[in-house]
Amino acid sequence: MGAVKSKRMPRAVREQQMLDAAVRTFGQRGYMAASMDEIAELAGVSKPLVYLYLNSKEDLFTACIRREARALTEAVRAGVRPGLAADRQLWDGLGAFFTHTGRNPDAWSVLHLQARTHGERFAAEAAAMREEIVAFVTELIVVAAREAHRDPDLAEGEVAGLAVALVGAAESLATWANATPGVTARQAAATLMNFAWAGLGNLMEGRPWSAPVMSDELSASGAVDVVHGA
Amino acid sequence: MGAVKSKRMPRAVREQQMLDAAVRTFGQRGYMAASMDEIAELAGVSKPLVYLYLNSKEDLFTACIRREARALTEAVRAGVRPGLAADRQLWDGLGAFFTHTGRNPDAWSVLHLQARTHGERFAAEAAAMREEIVAFVTELIVVAAREAHRDPDLAEGEVAGLAVALVGAAESLATWANATPGVTARQAAATLMNFAWAGLGNLMEGRPWSAPVMSDELSASGAVDVVHGA
């Protein structure tokens, strides 16, 4: 009895294993096609245990969306150091975003595609995460405007619009990068910096936004060099 | 009998009325909550006639997505005059896009939200339209690069990424504009031009991309001054 007891995993650990298996299955096969049988098998547990812990396929999917939404927003926040210049903060934030979505393509598929494709209850969960990221980007732009002493001229509505545009562009690029073999997180982040910071107009004239040199910490760690869609 | 016959509308006209009612109902109430009863009532026809013409709720929804996708891509193409400078083409295209999504908020909700939120069959229809718009924007950027004699330096992959970013930003802004009272199509287009053409960096330094003066045809017609979310 003691031996059996000592082999038991804590419920929290088991639950994370179930969520790992569920994110992978939902992300790769889609919410509708994914079965509780294959999720249980991939997690190495019985199906009744999955139902005991997570209640239903709907609740399991909701738990996946919440966990992955938190992981993504935390990854972006952790990538940004508040003391630096605004363009550097944006570059770091984009690098962290594309690195996370590139390393966790199933999670990104769950958040951006599956959560929006299978009913309004799940779509609302994904929308809450998006609002948090838009608020974060809005604050970045406000800080950048303040640095450039432009705050009285940049209306609140325009800042909100720019943040919404930037987040939409990032979501669109993350999905494209994951579906396009050989595109790295650094390339995706650089494309968006060119687009958002230097602007297409400057880019056309040969004046792209300059990425930091390779010797800085972010590049040295390889954090933004993940290959998507391999 | 002759009188009854002369009151009959051609099938094509009746079908368009059914689609008008369906787009409005699906857009405002969502695909799941919308009933065939209320669509038939709004169209002023019997429910059996809707089934006779459009077969099922799924087929009716698919027909809505196809019609509205075609209307949107045609509106954007019609807004752009190929002979003009690239930034002017982009400005015109964005004006046409935000004018169309602002004037047809139910259609935009069907295309961008409902079509992606209720199963992969519908999502594939919306994705086909998106690919067409991305291809159109890619061509615009290639032309702009050629004008600036930068084509050998702008890799195919980067152009594709910029087009994907621009389309994602536009989609995101259209949804935001429709949900935000008082935002005009012109404002949404100007925000995206600032973001995409002049770049956030220039914007922060007080160098926004300059919108054409109000006296040109687009502004004179009021085409980009539709108020969203009223």
Task: Report CB contact under 8 Å: B172, A169.
Answer: yes
Residue B219: the pLDDT is: 37
Name residues 116-145 of chain A within 8 A of B (Cβ): 116-120, 123, 141, 144-145
Checking if the pLDDT of B61 tops 90, the result is yes
Cβ atoms of A50 and A43 closer than 8 Å:
yes
Kindly list the residues from chain A whose CB atom is less than 8 angstroms away from the CB atom of residue B201: 87, 197-199, 202, 209
Task: Report CB contact under 8 Å: B165, A187.
Answer: no
Higher-confidence residue: B199 or A187? A187
For chain B, give the percent of residues with pLDDT over 90.
53
Same fold, A9-55 and A58-220: no
The ipTM assigned to this model is 0.82
Cβ atoms of A70 and A23 closer than 8 Å:
no
Task: Please check whether residue B161 touches A, CB under 8 A.
Answer: yes
Closest CA to A69 of A24, A112, A120, A7: A112
Task: Please check whether residue A53 touches B, CB under 8 A.
Answer: no
Higher-confidence residue: B52 or B113? B52
Which CATH fold topology does B9-55 show?
Arc Repressor Mutant, subunit A (1.10.10)
Checking if the pLDDT of B113 tops 80, the result is yes
Cβ atoms of B73 and B129 closer than 8 Å:
yes
pLDDT digits (tens, 9 = 90+) for A51-87: 999 999 999 999 999 999 999 999 999 999 888 888 8
Checking if the pLDDT of A215 tops 60, the result is no
Task: Please check whether residue B217 touches A, CB under 8 A.
Answer: no
Cα separation, A105 vs A180, in Å, equals 12
Higher-confidence residue: B22 or B226? B22
User: CB under 8 Å to B124, separation ≥6 — which residues?
Assistant: none
Residue A23 distance to chain B (closest CA, Å): 18
Residue A137 distance to chain B (closest CA, Å): 12
Task: Please check whether residue B162 touches A, CB under 8 A.
Answer: yes
CA of A130: which chain B residue's CA is closest? B172
Q: Where are the domains of chain A?
A: 9-55, 58-220
Q: What is the CATH number of domain A58-220?
A: 1.10.357.10
Residue B97: the pLDDT is: 96
Q: Which residues of B85-123 are buried (b: 16+ CB within 10 A; e: fewer)?
A: ebbebbbbbbbbbbbbbbebbbbbbbbbbbbbbbbbebb
Kindly list the residues from chain B whose CB atom is less than 8 angstroms away from the CB atom of residue A157: 180, 183, 187
Cα separation, B230 vs B219, in Å, equals 20
CATH superfamily of B65-220: Tetracycline Repressor, domain 2 (1.10.357.10)
Checking if the pLDDT of A6 tops 50, the result is no
Checking if the pLDDT of B71 tops 80, the result is yes
Here the tokens at position B160 are 């594709």
Dihedral angle computed from the Cα positions of residues A110, B116, A131 and B230, in that order, rounded to the nearest 10 degrees: -170
Kindly list the residues from chain A whose CB atom is less than 8 angstroms away from the CB atom of residue B204: 86, 144-145, 147-148, 150
Residue B9 distance to chain A (closest CA, Å): 37
User: CB under 8 Å to A48, separation ≥6 — which residues?
Assistant: none
Kindly list the residues from chain B whose CB atom is less than 8 angstroms away from the CB atom of residue A149: none
User: CB under 8 Å to A116, separation ≥6 — which residues?
Assistant: A122, A123, A126, B113, B116, B117
User: Which pLDDT band, with edges at 50, 70 and 90, does A47 fall under?
Assistant: very high
Name residues 6-45 of chain A within 8 A of B (Cβ): 30, 32
Cβ atoms of B192 and A165 closer than 8 Å:
yes
Task: Please check whether residue B210 touches A, CB under 8 A.
Answer: no
Closest CA to B43 of B11, B67, B61, B20: B20
CA of B182: which chain A residue's CA is closest? A157
Higher-confidence residue: A228 or B171? B171
